[in-house]
Amino acid sequence: MTDVGQSAQFTKDVRAAPEDAAQIRREFSSWLSTHFTLDPTKASDVVLAVNEALANAAEFAYVNAPAPGLMHVRADYDGDASVLTVTISDDGAWRISETDHKNPARGRGIPLMRALTDHAVIDSNQAGTEVRLQWRHIDQDCGSRTT
Amino acid sequence: MTSQPDPAGCSVNESRVGEVSVVAVAGTVDMLTAPQLEEAINSAAKSSPSAIVVDMSAVEFLASAGMGVLVAAHEQLGDAARFAVVADGPATSRPLKLVGIAEVVDLFATLDEALAALKT
């Protein structure tokens, strides 16, 4: 059981752009199904919530910059507490208010993140934004460890 | 040689059931592919159907970008045509209900139910 922390780790640093966001979502989804035993609803909730954080970073973090910067994704699993935490951060300048659309067709990413997680925190400052998404009662798939 | 459908992509198909235009979507509807859905709905509207049904039974992933397209289409159609969405399952109907879109747009679990409702 001692190598669990190492195998259940997901860390990516990519350009904050839509294509990269979609790619990371697919890789994360694959990692999730490999390392954890999730019912279809939970799996769907986790991937969608992560997608929304990635999409916000891709759309807003570097909107005033000459080129997109990076976004960082890290998934950490606490085996003792059965808690999965996914952190999506960027070094850009978006704020919650920028996604607070008056247009009713937009702006559902943050409500979705809150509805799909057990706990969601969005932390923005001058240096960037960090979104922490957390789920409890997540069981790892012990049969998939290769070492 | 058969080509595999791109799992990251979205395919959209429009067909008519009487006066109702059915826009059937499959695959992934996210910030990259949502414009395809938007374009398909706009195209369907041009033929002045009595209603447009977006059938997402074969959608495997639906992001907020896709949800926004549905809400926008409903608004833009206004009184010109009725609008309904077919969705069922954790990836589609669940998030649509969680963020209250099911209260804004008519949502049905199957195409048959949507078509039956639109006849009334």
The residue with tokens 């952190």 is A87
Q: CATH number for the domain including B102?
A: 3.30.750.24
**Rounded Cα distance, A99 and A121, in Å:** 15
| Residue B72 contacts A, CB cutoff 8 Å | yes
Is the residue at B43 inside a domain? Answer: yes
**Rounded Cα distance, A103 and A17, in Å:** 23
Are the Cβ atoms of B94 and A44 closer than 8 angstroms?
Answer: yes
> What are the CA-CA distances from residue B50 to residues A112, B21, B47 (Å)?
32, 8, 9
Are the Cβ atoms of A108 and B68 closer than 8 angstroms?
Answer: yes
Chain B closest-CA separation from residue A2 CA (Å) = 34
pTM given for the model: 0.92
Contacts of A40 in chain B (CB under 8 A): 89-90
Which helix (H) or strand (E) element contains residue B45?
A: helix B34-46
Chain A closest-CA separation from residue B85 CA (Å) = 15
Phi (first) and psi of residue A86, to 5 degrees: -115, 125
| Residue B67 contacts A, CB cutoff 8 Å | yes
Domain residue limits at A28: 4-144
- Count how many domains chain B has: 1
Q: pLDDT tens digits for B65-78?
A: 999 999 999 999 99
Chain A residue with the nearest C-alpha to that of B71: A105
Which helix (H) or strand (E) element contains residue B17?
A: strand B10-17
Domain residue limits at B23: 12-118
Mention every residue, 6+ apart, whose C-beta is less than 8 A from residue A14: A20, A21, A23, A24, A70, A71, A73
Chain B residue with the nearest C-alpha to that of A44: B91
- Count how many domains chain A has: 1
Is the residue at B39 inside a domain? Answer: yes
**Mutation site, B6, B29, B30, B37, interface A, largest A CB count within 10 A:** B30
Q: CATH number for the domain including A26?
A: 3.30.565.10
The residue with tokens 């300048």 is A93
Is the residue at B1 inside a domain? Answer: no
Give the pair of three-digit tokens for residue B103. 């209260």
Q: pLDDT tens digits for B86-114?
A: 999 999 999 999 999 999 999 999 999 99
B102 in Cβ contact with B88 (< 8 Å) = no
Is the residue at B29 inside a domain? Answer: yes
Is the residue at B42 inside a domain? Answer: yes
Q: pLDDT tens digits for A84-115?
A: 999 999 999 876 666 556 677 788 999 999 99
Are the Cβ atoms of A18 and B31 closer than 8 angstroms?
Answer: yes
Is the residue at B2 inside a domain? Answer: no
What is the ipTM for the molecules in this complex?
Answer: 0.93
